[in-house]
Structure 1
Amino acid sequence: MSSTSRIAKNTLALYFRQILIMLVSLYTVRVVLNTLGAEDYGIYNVVAGVVTMFGFLSGAMATASQRFFSFEMGRKNENGLPHIFSVTLTIYAFLSAVIVIFAETLGFWFVCNKLVIPLERMTAAKWIYQCAVISFLFTLMTTPYMSAIIAHENMNVYAYVSIVEAVLKLAVVFVLKIAVADKLVLYGMLLLLVAAINTGLYRFYCKRHYKECRFRLLLDKKLFSEMFSYVGWNLFGSSVGVFKNQIVNILLNQFFGSLVNAARAIASQVSAAVTSFSQNFSTAIRPQIIKTYAAEEKEECLSLTFRGCRMTFFLMYIFTLPLLLEMPFVLDVWLKNPPENAVLFARLVLIDALVDSVSYPIMTLAQATGKIKLYQSAVGGILLMNLPASYVCLKCGLPAYSVLVVAICITFIAFVVRLFIIKALTDFSIRSFLMSVCLPIFAVAVLSAAAPAAARYFIKGGVMNFIGVVFLSVTFASASILFVGMDKSERVSVLNMMRRRFFDA
């Protein structure tokens, strides 16, 4: 199977997965919000967010293990895969011990003494925190197995297990509706059970199908040193996401209370649902970028990176445009009574994610080189400015949404810096990138937004207006992407695929 066909097949599998997960998530968030109430929902998100801050450890290791797996496959070195798996699992076990120590000391103290939580809900918050810690440990130990699946490009397995997880979370919602216990505590416990089942499924599949997924205690000092160096800089880069999201979330809690956290949580849910579609394509193309770089197929590697940047943006934009225009209607229908500021928060978070989406394949190319010290220190340093800039804005009395405007500005600056750094690491041409990626993206955004924006402004009404705006948005975005955003070869490939699919069946 060609690389293009494999990427297309894997993207479709991940899209099927994501559509089902998104439908389940939309329903579950609505029911959980209405069942728990805005205050308890805000408490859950800010308390669980403290644990999520440790997620940068998992993210750094996930990127590292996927990179090393794919790199060895690109070099056709199958014998090195068992060593990578065993070393990775050993490092994960060490990180798990470190996380438990910090979570049960500094983290627990912070939840009890610094978060703004009503006194009568503090006991429930402590239960939620402990469940979140254990759930995170299960998720952490799942990552080496997921990395093996992604490196082997068996995205259908990744899709199936994720669908099982979504169905289990749907079952959690039904249990929550009929339960008579403290619903906030029960919610945390049930999500812990889902995390444990998810880990078991991944481990069972990988041990049966991949011979390298057999743990052996190894003392490969060279590999340990190489991975620790790689992970060390990845840890810094991944921790930036903590400052950009979770710590800013805590700042909002300190200045405005848990109700604003509920609005921010809804915005994050919307962003995650839409972003996941572009990330699916990024996940599908990531192993190919790394493998072509490892095989020294530099022209093909850069071609995949450029195409990936454009398509990642387009695949997100086609969902984002109608949401940006019809966010009030969507949240009213979805949540019935959305928290105050949820509409504005959701729109700003989507814009931030849209700007950031162009960088996903560039990040993968930087990871493929293995020379990430300059990349992580420069880009991470810029993104870290989210925290002090947000604090200054809030301290000066600016509204809560100002932290999201700050995030958008810094995300754009980081994107520009990434281009210059990747140029220093590879044969990357900034001029070619601007002409073949940025110019088509800008043209598509301008051409496709005018008609649906005009319809949204001039035509007032409920469901019919919503349907009309969505139809115009998807139609104009799709046409603009096909005839302006794609080059001739990509356009011919898409049209031929559509012809075979719908007319030659």
Structure 2
Amino acid sequence: MSTNKTIAKNALFLYFRMFLTMGVGLFTSRLVLQALGVVDYGIYGLVGGIVSTFAFLNSAMASATQRYLSFDIGRNDFDRLQKTFNATLNIHILISLIILFFAETIGLWFVNYKLQIPADRIVAANWVFQFSIFAFVLEVIQVPYNALLFAREHMNVYAYVSILETALKLLIVYLLVQINTDKLILYSILTFCVVFIIRTIYKIYCKKHFKEATYKFYFDKNYYKELMSYSGWNLFGNIANIARGQGSNILLNLFFGPIANTAYSLTLMVQGIIGSFVGNFQVALNPQITKSFAKDEVEKTLNLIHKSSKFSFFAMFILVIPFLDNIDYIMHLWLNKVPPYAISFLKLALIYSLIETISNPLMVGAQATGKIKWYQIIIGSFIFLTLPITWITFYFTSNPINVYWILIINSLIALVFRILFLRKMIGLNVVKYLKEVIFPISLVIVAVSSFIYLSTSFFAKIYLDNYFLDFILKAAILAIVIFILIILLGLSQSDRSKFSQIIKEKFNF
């Protein structure tokens, strides 16, 4: 019960953060797009993406940091926890130096000689590249502090700091509109300043509240070897993810130019905002999955994975379907002038995100075991294949939309392999998983699809003079119907009983 309360409390803090950042993010992105223009906005997303391609070094170690800190806390081993924090901090400092070297050599060459950037914007693109590097290096060094916050489950701090971060982003937009200078360069400088301020605050908080965050140089050859071995296999998987994400962005630039990058960047933003509804729940739950496994509570670990996969999907599904049903109106309401490809990208991107939502808890379960060699080799290989397949598809079809069809098919294949791997790694019962997770999800998808198809003529008759109120009414009706179908078809009898009990307790029925 205490674990459930902790998860619920942390999820609430993260949802508070999400609503704040979502509202401001949607508001500021439109103003930034207007201030920079379509081409400069695409350049910023593309050049920043080049820096992010070096994230495979950081992401591999970040996963290890989160896993080992949560594992040590689960085992109540403070001495090892302190060693883990200091060791991971040393490694992240080294990673930041490696990223700095490669970014200033290979990355700089690629930006100036390989990307399709208008000649009169090359100088500005280089300014963006440099400040993107500086911001990224700071974020790399910050990883152990953020990981410690999540492992200690202090999600409230994460939410409170986000208030300041949101205010600073609003200030960026204000300065961007008011100051008469090259706005692309100004935007990159101001964004770096925000990263610096936020990173400093997290560091100060961790040092003040967590004894293990006090830096002491620590070197144990065997322990470093263990961390690096785990990270090494993670590295393979993260290279594959970078190839899938930023590699696709680069290919879009090479085949279709900066305008396609603008559509891709906007798609990633909306995808991230909607995904954060689910991500907050999963972030609150992930440390519990690792800690349960550390305590040898395998049955509890599997139960958490089942619940996380199913409820995460439903939480996102109830948002995605009304959004997709009204996507043209929403995008024009948000951006006024929607860039080419953006709507088509976003439709498929949200379907892809729904599949990944099911997969994420399986990934956390695999990471918790620490034995990820073959998991990363097989899954990473399938993910990496998206890059050459995308290149071939672009070459023969000249259709940028195919990038997301490839991602969807690849994600489905990866989901199947993750289920099979978890069967071997922690004893996941495949039949039980299909029965408790996949079957209810499939049932709800069929029921909702049937309702939308059969009610098309009914919705056409509901028309208000005010377009916005018309959209709100139809979206609300659809969301309520989806919610009811989830309760009736997606939840088990015990889930419905627990849900009913919560409602009665909250509203004194």
1:297 maps onto 2:297 in alignment: yes
Cα deviation, residue 142, structure 1: 1.2
Q: Which whole-Å CA distance do the structure 2 matches of 1:266 and 1:456 have between them?
A: 29
1:486 matched to which residue of 2? 491
Structure-to-structure mapping, 1:9-48, within 5 angstroms: 9-48=9-48
CA contact (8 A) 1:382 1:414 kept: yes
1:410 matched to which residue of 2? 410
2:507 matched to which residue of 1? 502
CA contact (8 A) 1:448 1:477 kept: yes
Q: Which whole-Å CA distance do the structure 1 matches of 2:89 and 2:469 have between them?
A: 53
Cα deviation, residue 484, structure 1: 2.1
1:223 maps onto 2:218 in alignment: no
Cα deviation, residue 500, structure 1: 2.9
Cα deviation, residue 90, structure 1: 0.3
Residues 450 and 12 (structure 1 numbering): CA distance in 2 closer, same or farther, change over 3 Å? farther
Q: Secondary structure of 1:219's partner?
A: coil
Residues 449 and 480 (structure 1 numbering): CA distance in 2 closer, same or farther, change over 3 Å? same
Q: Which whole-Å CA distance do the structure 2 matches of 1:139 and 1:477 have between them?
A: 39
Equivalent of 1:472 in 464, 469, 477 = 477
Unpaired stretches in structure 1, ≥5 consecutive residues: none
Which stretches of structure 1, 4 residues or more, deviate above 3 A after TM superposition? 449-458
Cα deviation, residue 397, structure 1: 2.4
Cα deviation, residue 104, structure 1: 0.1
Cα deviation, residue 459, structure 1: 1.5
Worse-superposed segment, 118-127 or 448-457: 448-457
1:310 matched to which residue of 2? 310
Residues 307 and 112 (structure 1 numbering): CA distance in 2 closer, same or farther, change over 3 Å? same
Per-residue Cα deviation, 1:160-210 (whole angstroms, up to 9, x for no partner) = 222322221121111111110110000000000000011011101100100
1:459 maps onto 2:460 in alignment: yes
Q: Which whole-Å CA distance do the structure 2 matches of 1:165 and 1:430 have between them?
A: 43
Per-residue Cα deviation, 1:218-251 (whole angstroms, up to 9, x for no partner) = 1111210110001111111112221111111110
**Could you tell me the TM-score, scaled by structure 1's length?**
0.97
Cα deviation, residue 214, structure 1: 0.9
1:134 matched to which residue of 2? 134
Q: Which whole-Å CA distance do the structure 1 matches of 2:10 and 2:409 have between them?
A: 33
Q: Which whole-Å CA distance do the structure 2 matches of 1:88 and 1:286 have between them?
A: 19
Q: Which whole-Å CA distance do the structure 2 matches of 1:432 and 1:415 have between them?
A: 16
CA contact (8 A) 1:328 1:343 kept: yes
2:76 matched to which residue of 1? 76
Equivalent residue pairs, number? 504
Cα deviation, residue 258, structure 1: 0.4
Residues 201 and 151 (structure 1 numbering): CA distance in 2 closer, same or farther, change over 3 Å? same
**Could you tell me the TM-score, scaled by structure 2's length?**
0.96
Residues 450 and 30 (structure 1 numbering): CA distance in 2 closer, same or farther, change over 3 Å? farther
Cα deviation, residue 473, structure 1: 2.4
Worse-superposed segment, 50-59 or 134-143: 50-59
Cα deviation, residue 266, structure 1: 1.1
CA contact (8 A) 1:325 1:456 kept: no
Structure-to-structure mapping, 1:58-73, within 5 angstroms: 58-73=58-73
2:170 matched to which residue of 1? 170
Q: Which whole-Å CA distance do the structure 1 matches of 2:183 and 2:298 have between them?
A: 54
1:282 matched to which residue of 2? 282
1:439 maps onto 2:439 in alignment: yes
Q: Secondary structure of 1:212's partner?
A: helix
Q: Which whole-Å CA distance do the structure 1 matches of 2:308 and 2:330 have between them?
A: 29
Q: Which whole-Å CA distance do the structure 1 matches of 2:258 and 2:311 have between them?
A: 37
Residue identity opposite 2:460 in structure 1: I
Q: Secondary structure of 1:181's partner?
A: coil
Residues 246 and 196 (structure 1 numbering): CA distance in 2 closer, same or farther, change over 3 Å? same
1:2 matched to which residue of 2? 2
Q: Which whole-Å CA distance do the structure 2 matches of 1:378 and 1:119 have between them?
A: 42
Q: Which whole-Å CA distance do the structure 2 matches of 1:472 and 1:369 have between them?
A: 43
Residue identity opposite 1:463 in structure 2: F
Q: Which whole-Å CA distance do the structure 1 matches of 2:208 and 2:129 have between them?
A: 34
Q: Secondary structure of 2:117's partner?
A: coil
Q: Which whole-Å CA distance do the structure 2 matches of 1:381 and 1:130 have between them?
A: 32
Q: Which whole-Å CA distance do the structure 2 matches of 1:355 and 1:195 have between them?
A: 31
Q: Secondary structure of 2:326's partner?
A: helix
2:95 matched to which residue of 1? 95
Q: Which whole-Å CA distance do the structure 2 matches of 1:394 and 1:420 have between them?
A: 32
CA contact (8 A) 1:66 1:147 kept: yes
Residues 117 and 347 (structure 1 numbering): CA distance in 2 closer, same or farther, change over 3 Å? same
Q: Which whole-Å CA distance do the structure 2 matches of 1:399 and 1:198 have between them?
A: 40
Residue identity opposite 1:192 in structure 2: F
Per-residue Cα deviation, 1:373-412 (whole angstroms, up to 9, x for no partner) = 0111100000001101101101102411011111110111
Residue identity opposite 2:360 in structure 1: Y
Q: Secondary structure of 2:339's partner?
A: coil
Residue identity opposite 1:485 in structure 2: G
Cα deviation, residue 453, structure 1: 5.3
Q: Which whole-Å CA distance do the structure 2 matches of 1:491 and 1:148 have between them?
A: 35
Cα deviation, residue 495, structure 1: 2.5
CA contact (8 A) 1:289 1:301 kept: yes
2:152 matched to which residue of 1? 152
Q: Secondary structure of 2:397's partner?
A: coil
Q: Secondary structure of 1:428's partner?
A: coil
1:369 matched to which residue of 2? 369
Q: Which whole-Å CA distance do the structure 2 matches of 1:468 and 1:452 have between them?
A: 15
Per-residue Cα deviation, 1:133-184 (whole angstroms, up to 9, x for no partner) = 0000111111101111111111111222223222211211111111101100
Identity over aligned pairs, percent:
38
Q: Which whole-Å CA distance do the structure 2 matches of 1:122 and 1:454 have between them?
A: 53
Residues 102 and 344 (structure 1 numbering): CA distance in 2 closer, same or farther, change over 3 Å? same
Residues 453 and 48 (structure 1 numbering): CA distance in 2 closer, same or farther, change over 3 Å? farther
Q: Which whole-Å CA distance do the structure 2 matches of 1:455 and 1:98 have between them?
A: 57
Residue identity opposite 2:493 in structure 1: K
Q: Secondary structure of 2:503's partner?
A: helix
Worse-superposed segment, 321-330 or 119-128: 321-330
Q: Secondary structure of 1:396's partner?
A: helix
Residue identity opposite 2:421 in structure 1: I
